[in-house]
Amino acid sequence: MNNFIFENATKVFFGAGCVKEYLRCLTKHYTDTVMLAYGGGSVKENGVYDEVTDILAQAGKRIIELADIMPNPTYAKVLEGAKLAKENNVGLILGIGGGSVMDCCKAVSVAARYDGDAWTDFWLRPGIMDFEPLPVGVVVTAAGTGSECNGGAVITNEESKVKTGRDYPKCNPKFALLDPTYTYSVPKFQMVSGGFDTLSYIMEIYFSEPDEDNVSDDIAEALMKNVIRNLWVAIADPQDYNARSNLMWDAVMAENRIIKLGKCTDFQCHQMEHQLGAYTDCNHGAGLAVLHPVYYRHIYMDGLNKFRRFAVNVWGVDTDGKSDQEIALAGIEMLENFILEIGLPVTLKELGVDEQTDLKEIADSCVISSGSYKEMSHEEILEIFKECL
């Protein structure tokens, strides 16, 4: 394994009833004004908003709201939140929602404590954070991104059409409350796309060097099988607590940095989807579902042993009478069939992309990953986009 330094400062409270049990106590360590951040309002429909605001009121907290955080949070929204935080002397940002809300909260926490251009200095390029961001806590209502246990925030700059993410340990939420019952009301498509996002994170880490026997790859295989198995269960019964619990913890394990230890990581597919999202605002998990099989057929020969292992250990592909190449391709086909069977799109046209979309401009804007088995060119990324149509 490669050398690494590991850090994760988020304290997790997991299980049914954890919000009622712990939130009031957790907020007492911060000043009286709390910024409550959430998305399109589903938290008001499912009762989570009322539960949280009641707890905050009992704790004597003044609430400032940052509402309507969009699925692909923009830098303009980040600046809106930072302005609110500064004007109201906010002591804690409390995000209620999924990955987009959590990412936005972490970016707001930086912009609220930084006098310069946070986008340029911390997202457009990596920065050195020599100050303490505003504290963040999260109440998770949708599993998928694992944003609750890392310092990562993916933000879209609408003006420059750049969507990018950075992970700063100082931005880790101080606490994360994960009640699997809060995910019961998530619509099927959102639940499935979130689950695939988790699977995608794991694959992006798994399909990278080193390929010698290592702990991270072994854990990754177990997690991938767990995601696949429990997605099927949750589709059949959306209120299966065990399945929802597993999917929620799978997401945390995918992105709490543990399985990245000692790995180069790929994330080329994420870079490609980010730019598709920046130009088309497509659903993140759905975009990844379209891209992954096609991308993997472009790179599998350069990581043949790992793709063979994926086919056998994750999908149970029969190896009798097959070459390594045939086994690897069978694993990619199993992945593609799974995507189709769980109801995710397999073409860009299903995401609203067509021949009028300037795919070359999007391809040229993609960052090239140094961790991929095969270094992409912008020309090959364009080929992949066209094959995905």
Q: Is the pLDDT of residue 7 over 90?
A: no
What is the CATH classification number for the domain harbouring 30? 3.40.50.1970
87 lies in the same domain as 133: yes
**Residue 357: its pLDDT value, please?**
92
Here the tokens at position 101 are: 């809300």
159 lies in the same domain as 142: yes
Q: Is the pLDDT of residue 137 over 90?
A: yes
| Distant-in-sequence, close-in-space partners of 45: CB < 8 Å, separation ≥ 6 | 185
What 3-state DSSP class applies to 33? strand
Mean pLDDT, the chain, whole residue set: 96
| Distant-in-sequence, close-in-space partners of 203: CB < 8 Å, separation ≥ 6 | 224, 292
Assess if residue 150 is contained within a domain: yes
Q: Is the pLDDT of residue 5 over 90?
A: no
8 Å CB contact between 66 and 86: no
Residue 236 is part of which domain span?
190-388
Assess if residue 339 is contained within a domain: yes
Adjacent-strand bridge partners of 14: 178
359 lies in the same domain as 379: yes
Q: Is the pLDDT of residue 365 over 90?
A: yes
Assess if residue 176 is contained within a domain: yes
pLDDT 10s digits, 229-273? 999 999 999 999 999 999 999 999 999 999 999 999 999 999 999
Distances (CA, A) of 11 to 6, 46, 120, 142, 176: 15, 25, 30, 18, 6
- Helix 268-280 to helix 284-299 angle (10° resolution) is 140
Assess if residue 330 is contained within a domain: yes
174 lies in the same domain as 315: no
Here the tokens at position 193 are: 């796309």
Domain count, the chain: 2
Please name which of 383, 270, 388 lies closest in space to residue 336, comparing C-alpha atoms: 388
Rounded Cα gap, residues 381 and 272, in angstroms = 8
Amino acid letter, residue 387:
E
Please name which of 210, 138, 243, 151 lies closest in space to residue 373, comparing C-alpha atoms: 210
163 lies in the same domain as 286: no
146 lies in the same domain as 215: no
Here the tokens at position 7 are: 């850090």
Rounded Cα gap, residues 205 and 279, in angstroms = 26
346 lies in the same domain as 267: yes
pLDDT 10s digits, 154-198? 999 999 999 999 999 999 999 999 999 999 999 999 999 999 999
What is the CATH classification number for the domain harbouring 279? 1.20.1090.10
82 lies in the same domain as 208: no
Residue for token pair 């961790």: 371
Here the tokens at position 138 are: 């999260």
Amino acid letter, residue 261:
L
**Residue 119: its pLDDT value, please?**
97
Mark 112-128 as b/e (b = at least 16 C-beta within 10 Å): bbbeeebbeebbbeebe
**Residue 110: its pLDDT value, please?**
98
pLDDT 10s digits, 60-115? 999 999 999 999 999 999 999 999 999 999 999 999 999 999 999 999 999 999 99
80 lies in the same domain as 110: yes
161 lies in the same domain as 281: no
pTM of the model: 0.95
**Residue 131: its pLDDT value, please?**
97
pLDDT 10s digits, 290-328? 999 999 999 999 999 999 999 999 999 999 999 999 999
Please name which of 339, 184, 222 lies closest in space to residue 269, comparing C-alpha atoms: 339
Rounded Cα gap, residues 100 and 97, in angstroms = 8
Of 161, 183, 205, the one marking the end of a domain is: 183
134 lies in the same domain as 30: yes
Rounded Cα gap, residues 291 and 279, in angstroms = 16
210 lies in the same domain as 358: yes
pLDDT 10s digits, 204-223? 999 999 999 999 999 999 99
8 Å CB contact between 202 and 267: no
Assess if residue 3 is contained within a domain: no
